[in-house]
Chain A
Amino acid sequence: MNSSVIVFPGSNCDRDIAVALEKLQFKNKMIWHKETKLPKSDLIVVPGGFSYGDYLRSGAIAGKSLIINEVIKAANEGCLVLGICNGFQILTETGLLRGALLRNKNLKFINKDINIKVINNDTKFSNKYKKNQILRINIAHNEGNYFTNPDHLKELTNENLIAFKYCNKNGDVNKDSNPNGSLENIAGIFNSKKNILGMMPHPERMVDNLISNTDGINLFSSLLN
């Protein structure tokens, strides 16, 4: 499977995601943001970190960059697109995913391991997980507070487009298990065709027991399935 990781000035999870992909035998290429052509890819990853200093709003400038036009084109043709953290913010700024990511409710940058629950496991990104499986996964963000309008929120629920929700270790989804004020504890969403996933947590940081755990690995192995 061919993958492309987009690299912006400020991206800092691009190497981690490349290591995760290569571990699973993806043939990966790193694509600099000034490129105007994407190699033929089955998966495009918009990685975490920062982009263009995140001036104006997180992901706003990257959302209008040269390479992003190619990402939009490929996504509309059905290519799988994964946006993690800043990548999720960028995808919402392009309009590929609806909604927006606001400043964390407590105004703090949060970097810690939390729990998320797999809400929809019937997609290209999540088929190796069990429904309602609880994953221990790292978050590291300042703007992860997902917001959207009430109609879209209904659509997300009714069409099963919520990928992950923040929960506690028992799987309870409530105010106490919500780290950033996200609507309905949403940690990740799909577009309506389910070929695009945006998520704030970092699965690429959870692929090796030596440094963390392997709860993120099934996201990548699902893609190969």
Chain B
Amino acid sequence: MRLISAKQPRLSLRKNKLKFSVTVTLKKDVLDPQGKVVQNTLQNLGMDNLKSIRQGKYFEIELNDNDQNKAEKKVNDMCKKLLANLIIEDYKVTKI
């Protein structure tokens, strides 16, 4: 009995679900020492045509919404308020 009642809301959520990915990277003029170390290591492994590496963060975000514009706006809001620090980072939102 309990199992059934737990499943029902989940099914209804699935109908109105939108999924986005967010990539946060350091701005071009901000030094990325971690990316640099990864780059050097790959070059040491023989990847000599490697030009540059910038390290970043990746988020997958699901929203209970079926209005894509509204949902996308909300994800942008999340980026500005918390996920990215716009002084040092850029972000990119993609629908997945």
Contact = CB atoms under 8 A, between A and B. Distances in A.
Interface stretch (A9-17, A42-50, A80-88, A95-103): A95-103
Contacts of A148: 87
Contacts of A105: 31, 33
Contact of B33 (A60, A98, A103, A149): A103
Interface residues of A, number: 20
Contact of B87 (A99, A104, A106): A99
A181 interface: yes
B83 A147 contact: no
Contacts of B34: 103, 107
B30 A147 contact: yes
B82 interface: yes
Contact of A181 (B31, B37, B83, B87): B31
Interface residues of B, number: 12
Interface in A5-28: none
B88 A107 contact: no
A64 B31 contact: no
B88 A100 contact: yes
A103 B30 CA distance: 11
Contacts of B30: 102, 147
A56 interface: yes
A147 B88 contact: yes
Interface string A93-122: 100001110111111000000000000000
18 contacts: A56-B57, A56-B83, A60-B82, A64-B82, A92-B87, A93-B85, A99-B87, A100-B87, A103-B34, A105-B31, A105-B33, A106-B33, A107-B33, A107-B34, A107-B37, A145-B31, A148-B87, A181-B31
Given A102-B30, A103-B33, A181-B33, 17 more contacts: A57-B85, A60-B85, A64-B82, A92-B87, A98-B87, A99-B87, A100-B85, A100-B87, A100-B88, A105-B31, A106-B33, A107-B34, A107-B37, A147-B30, A147-B87, A149-B87, A181-B31
Interface of B: 30-31, 33-34, 37, 57, 81-83, 85, 87-88
